[in-house]
Structure 1
Amino acid sequence: MIKRYIQTKINHRVVEYNGVLYFGGLVADDKSKNMKGQTEEICAKIDTLLAEVGSSKENLLTAMIYISDFTAKDGMNEAWLEWLPAEYLPTRATIGVAELGKDTLIEVVVSAAR
């Protein structure tokens, strides 16, 4: 059975199927922040959403990270590793993109187990 959580105008923030939670892409609200700051904000959003649907970052399965500036990747990695203990690191891909929207440096898509 498919369950959908937190409907927005264009999607649901989370869709669950067979105990796996699929999250839509998340970006920072404060676009004045650098890559590390935007990543920290997104990680906090992930924590909040996971809690709302009964899970936690320890249950992350995979992450797709889209960044518009590979020269700032170290800041993203620093925030990511400060947020997530090594024993809970999910699979991950970081993809460089030309544009994510005005002043958006990073977008993160994750999946997690319930």
Structure 2
Amino acid sequence: MSPSLHHSNERMSQIAVHNGTVYLSGQVPSDATQGMRGQTEQVLARIDELLAEAGTSKQQLISAQVWVTDMGEFADMNAAWDAWVAPGRPPVRAAVEAKLAKPEWKVEIMVVAALPES
């Protein structure tokens, strides 16, 4: 069975669903004028929207990859993350400092989630 791809263009898809697993592409902030916490909150809200569209939620997260442009702002990213992540259900996660595609972006997050069993 082929993956189901959503919000696709010639370069990438925002959502891929395959064998009961939802994969999101890296999500970035829509308003880069905000600080690290605000940008992270935007990204997490977008992840919520995409997961809901795919039929799942943050309660079903399996893994997350987080890229931040400055580890000096890591605590601000974590404050937004900690307020968002489902209590008692944190996914496996990696977080690294990296240069992102646009210099105004401070954070990018990519997640994988399971579809709920029906």
The TM-score range, normalised by the shorter chain, is over 0.9
Q: Any idea what the Cα deviations from partners look like across 1:44-101, whole Å, max 9, x if unmatched?
A: 0000001111001100100000011000000000000101133111000001113441
| Match of residue 31 from structure 2 | 30
Greater shift after overlay, 99-108 or 37-46?
99-108
Matched residues, percent identical? 32
Measured in 2, the distance between the counterparts of 1:98 and 1:4 equals 27
How many residues align? The count is 114
What TM-score, normalized to structure 1? Answer: 0.94
| Match of residue 14 from structure 1 | 15
- Where does 1:22-61 land on structure 2 (aligned, <5 Å)? 22-61=23-62
How far residue 9 of structure 1 moved from its aligned partner, in angstroms, is 4.5
Residues 65 and 108, structure 1, Cα contact 8 Å, conserved in 2: yes
Measured in 2, the distance between the counterparts of 1:99 and 1:3 equals 27
What TM-score, normalized to structure 2? Answer: 0.91
Measured in 1, the distance between the counterparts of 2:66 and 2:44 equals 12
Classify the secondary structure of the residue corresponding to 1:87.
coil
- Where does 1:1-114 land on structure 2 (aligned, <5 Å)? 1=1, 2-114=3-115
Measured in 1, the distance between the counterparts of 2:28 and 2:99 equals 16
